[in-house]
Chains A and B, each alone.
Chain A
Amino acid sequence: MKRYAYYLSCINESMTKEVDKSIDLWQKDLDIDFVKLHESTCCGGSNLDYVSPKHFALVNGRNIALAEKLGLDLVTSCNTCLLTIRSAKKVLDESPELREEVNGILKKEGLEYKGTSEVRHLLWVLNEDVGLDTIREKVKVPLTNYSIATFYGCHILRPSTILGKENPLDPTSLDDLVEALGGKTISYEHKNKCCGFHTLLVAEEESLSVASEALGEAIESKADFIVTPCPLCHTVLDGYQTKALKQANIKKSIPVFHLSEMVGLALGYTPRQLGIKRHMVT
């Protein structure tokens, strides 16, 4: 059994609880064990880095140090947490002075940031560690009848200098996973574009316009549903879908699944068990 330190994202603790609920259901089926880091704190959601760069380094140095204490890699199922914590790791790895300053504070809690744990996304763990062949073998209810629009979200792809896992212009990891689960993916331009989440409260009209373009193309492409590895993208594409499509004068709608729910469905869990009824668009 492969073990990982699992980072608790704020949004999955409050609005999108179905993400962690789904993972809890199927992790053992895929022979993985996520050890939840209850001591971890909010990463700063791609804001703390400019509000206070030093607090940003402390908070995320600590988040990573908690995983390092267990000798495990840190795994998250939120794209923005992924980018934010990886950005902090890069800053800490490149600056011995900052590392020393942060560690000077962390040692009071018996923690030390060493830089030994990787910061990874759930999608990467499924593709690279569990492996698509193993996943294929474990599928109980293949997604054979579905055309699926993959929506990667920005912060698992860009900037490639910090993420660098795959070509941000033509990502394939989520498509590969969908195919391993027996589904078919559709080709559409917005799969690597933005959902608009990070300006929802600051420039709502613009955010909804960004979201509606992606939703509109997925609907146009006759996809049965969208799947995303990011709960923030899900919040816009599902939670704000009605509002976004109304603004764009699009009459249809499309369900949006979390990556963890889609895996759960293919492994034989029911929509009810996976918390899918909590979605705004059903």
Chain B
Amino acid sequence: MAEHTEGMRDITFRINRFNPQVDNKPYFDDYTIPVEKGITVLRALNYIKEHVDATVSFRAFCQAGICGSCGMRINGISKLACTTQVWDELERCKVENVVKVEPLRNMPLIKDLIVDMDPMVDKMKTYSNWVESIMPEEKMGEKEFLIAEEEFQEYDKATDCILCASCMSECSILRANKAYVGPAILLKSHRMNVDSRDGAHNVRITELVKDHGVWDCTHCYRCQETCVKNIPIMDSIHGVREDALLTRGVKDSSGAKHAEAFMEDIAKKGKLIEATLPIRTNGVGWTLKNLLPMAFKMILKRRTPPPPPLVKPSKNIKKFREEFQEMTAHVKRDQKDHINKSGE
């Protein structure tokens, strides 16, 4: 029977258990303990480990939301145990007063609530997630880098990342394919790419536009919504894409072609020309192989998008085209200004 005095309750923690040496698959153990209002999930886990079952395993260190060690899924959402109040979780419990605690997703499980972070670290190596200094080693220490406030603003938020991997755990595409780069790596990659001290932009971008890279993000925004530091991760993902398309002209990928088709179609008709989008993205061969079987049924259901000549342009398209072209002139002027400025 749960105790209900004000500020104190008996709460059950339903904890994922798995010891690869004895268990075939993970299971849950319930631990019911008295919890005071104001207690975090991490302190509750510590209590269980100290007073109830010493074998419960989890990773934790700073207890202050700084080190990123205690990322886990609490009532189904990836977050830090040390900054999550048990009391706040009570209204989110599927079973009254039962807080479910599970390991992060999308990474190999080692034991109970501990996952293997190595795949994430390996990806940080693959995508050169560090500043490769443009200053020759022999010159280091002689001269400092001066960073403009404007530049710092571009990566200020990204430097808040504590690598807790909550975003990786929530990522829709990483769940579908573990080879996908993942949001934390894209965030860091962009942070390095916009740093003027760094000289590895081109190496990084070349890697990022390959298969399982930046173009595989499906824009679900779950990474951003779950970020424990409220970092707008999608801004960085879009930043990498913008960088690949505009600044460095890495356009030879289906993702880049797909994105640019939108620009072309809007400029032409003000509408997306959906019928040829698969061909423009992936070529004729891919389209025939992947979409032809569906196309027959779609024709029967009159569900196929109209062929390009039949896509009716938006009303007043002439005026719109003039406006669109005028903005193109503005963008070209901006790019010229930017080149002149950086050449000074």
Q: Tell whether, in the assembled complex, residue A239 and residue B294 are in contact, meaning their CB atoms are under 8 Å apart.
A: yes
Q: Tell whether, in the assembled complex, residue B271 and residue A194 are in contact, meaning their CB atoms are under 8 Å apart.
A: no
Q: Is the interface on chain A under 10, 10 to 19, 20 to 34, or 35 or more residues? A: 35 or more
**Interface-centre pick from B77, B277, B301 (highest chain A CB count, 10 A):** B301
Q: Is the interface on chain B under 10, 10 to 19, 20 to 34, or 35 or more residues? A: 35 or more
Q: List the one stretch of B26-34, B129-137, B173-181 in contact with chain A.
A: B173-181
**Docked pose: A213 CA to B172 CA in angstroms:** 10
* A250 interfacial by beta-carbon distance below 8 Å: no
**Docked pose: A209 CA to B323 CA in angstroms:** 41
Q: Which residue of B lies closest to A206 (CB)?
A: B176
Q: Tell whether, in the assembled complex, residue A14 and residue B274 are in contact, meaning their CB atoms are under 8 Å apart.
A: yes
Given A50, A109, A170, which contacts B238 in the complex, CB threshold below 8 Å?
A50
Asked if A158 meets B274 with Cβ closer than 8 Å, knowing A105-B326, A202-B215, the reply is no
Chain A contact residues: helix, strand, loop or mixed: helix
Q: A54 to chain B: which residues have CB within 8 Å?
A: 327, 330-331, 334
Asked if A154 meets B221 with Cβ closer than 8 Å, knowing A48-B266, A54-B327, A109-B319, the reply is yes
Given B177, B216, B234, B301, which contacts A202 in the complex, CB threshold below 8 Å?
B216
Given A154, A158, A197, A206, which contacts B180 in the complex, CB threshold below 8 Å?
A206
Q: List the one stretch of A37-45, A142-150, A255-263 in contact with chain B.
A: A37-45
Q: Interface digits, A48-71 against B, CB 8 Å rule (1 contact, 0 not)? A: 111111110011001000000000
* A171 interfacial by beta-carbon distance below 8 Å: no
**Docked pose: A279 CA to B92 CA in angstroms:** 36
Q: Tell whether, in the assembled complex, residue B245 and residue A58 are in contact, meaning their CB atoms are under 8 Å apart.
A: no
Q: Tell whether, in the assembled complex, residue A39 and residue B314 are in contact, meaning their CB atoms are under 8 Å apart.
A: yes
**Interface-centre pick from B258, B260, B331 (highest chain A CB count, 10 A):** B258
Q: A193 to chain B: which residues have CB within 8 Å?
A: 172, 220, 222
**8 A Cβ contacts from A1-20 to B:** 10-11, 13-15
Given A52, A101, A105, A202, which contacts B263 in the complex, CB threshold below 8 Å?
A52
Q: Interface digits, B154-194 against A, CB 8 Å rule (1 contact, 0 not)? A: 00000000000000000011011100100000000000000
**Docked pose: A204 CA to B221 CA in angstroms:** 19
Q: Interface digits, B194-230 against A, CB 8 Å rule (1 contact, 0 not)? A: 0000000000000000000001111111101100000
**Docked pose: A60 CA to B324 CA in angstroms:** 12
8 pairs, CB–CB < 8 Å, chain A vs chain B: A47-B263, A50-B245, A194-B222, A199-B218, A210-B175, A210-B176, A240-B294, A277-B301
